[in-house]
Amino acid sequence: MALVPAGPFLMGSLDGEADERPARTVKLDAFYMDRFEVTHAQYAAFVQATGHKAPIDWPGGKMPPALAKHPVVNVTWSDADAYARWAGKRLPTEAEWEKAARGTDARIYPWGNDPARKSASGQDAQDPKRREGRTFPVGSFPDDASPYGVMDMAGNAWEWTADWYNAYPGNENLELEYGCKYRVIRGGGALDYYGKPSTRRCATRARSAPYGTYDALGFRCVKEAK
């Protein structure tokens, strides 16, 4: 896990989507975040230890060995929450996720402000496997590391967070989707979501019904820093 120190950071954006506004300073306590998304192999250990149901994309309930190092997907919010509790951790809040991705300098992407700087991102976007709906082994794109060394925060799997999809304080934009209906998901994703390409920006928000599963929606965990 990577340590994200206590302190303020800028959350949201001024020129992004309406649900990212207004940009504001948020103060957080220190916490640890998984450097990588939870993998199929890690989730298999949880399933074996607890008897929890396997993801729907495991043939016969057995983990495909070729996917051992890929982020586990096709898990509901409750599945992710159960794993996190079993591991002695929890799901990150939306604010924790964004700070771990962008640091304290208000950068647009985990690697900085230049969208062209991440060469692997372009390769990822053009890779035919991406169009086939496949993920990649965690850590496949080392140049997308966040300021704290957290990986895959601008691609691979989308990730569940602990929070409901609500308006930010001071946001007067009315959305029917706000409220305790959808959980916030973050991270870009190896697949397009809602039929449009990911921006890979740290402030980008998306949502998913907590009872639903998706073939590019996984998670990572956090825990308190004592």
The domain limits of the chain are 2-224
How do the pLDDT tens digits run along the chain, 226 residues long? 999 999 999 999 988 899 999 999 999 999 999 999 999 999 999 999 999 999 999 999 999 999 999 999 999 999 999 999 999 999 999 999 999 999 999 999 999 998 865 544 444 444 544 444 578 899 988 888 999 999 999 888 999 999 999 999 999 888 889 999 999 999 877 666 665 567 789 999 999 999 999 988 999 999 999 8
Q: How many Å apart are CA 43 and CA 52, to the nearest integer?
A: 10
Give me the pLDDT at residue 78, please. Answer: 98
Q: What is this structure's pTM?
A: 0.92
Cross-strand pairs, 209: none
**Residue 56: φ, ψ to 5°:** -70, -15
Nearest-5° angle of CA 160, CA 166, CA 167? Answer: 130
Give me the pLDDT at residue 192, please. Answer: 64
Tracing tokens 């397009």 back to the chain, one arrives at 192
Coil, strand or helix: which one is 183? Answer: strand
User: Do residues 137 and 70 make contact, with C-beta atoms less than 8 angstroms apart?
Assistant: yes
Helices (H) and strands (E) in the chain, counts: 5, 9
Q: What is the DSSP letter of 145?
A: -
Q: What is the DSSP letter of 2?
A: E
Kindly indicate whether the domain formed by 2-224 is annotated with CATH number 3.90.1580.10.
yes
Give me the pLDDT at residue 197, please. Answer: 62
If you compute the radius of gyration of the chain from its CA atoms, what whole number of angstroms results?
17
User: Do residues 183 and 210 make contact, with C-beta atoms less than 8 angstroms apart?
Assistant: yes
Give me the pLDDT at residue 193, please. Answer: 63
Give me the pLDDT at residue 131, please. Answer: 44
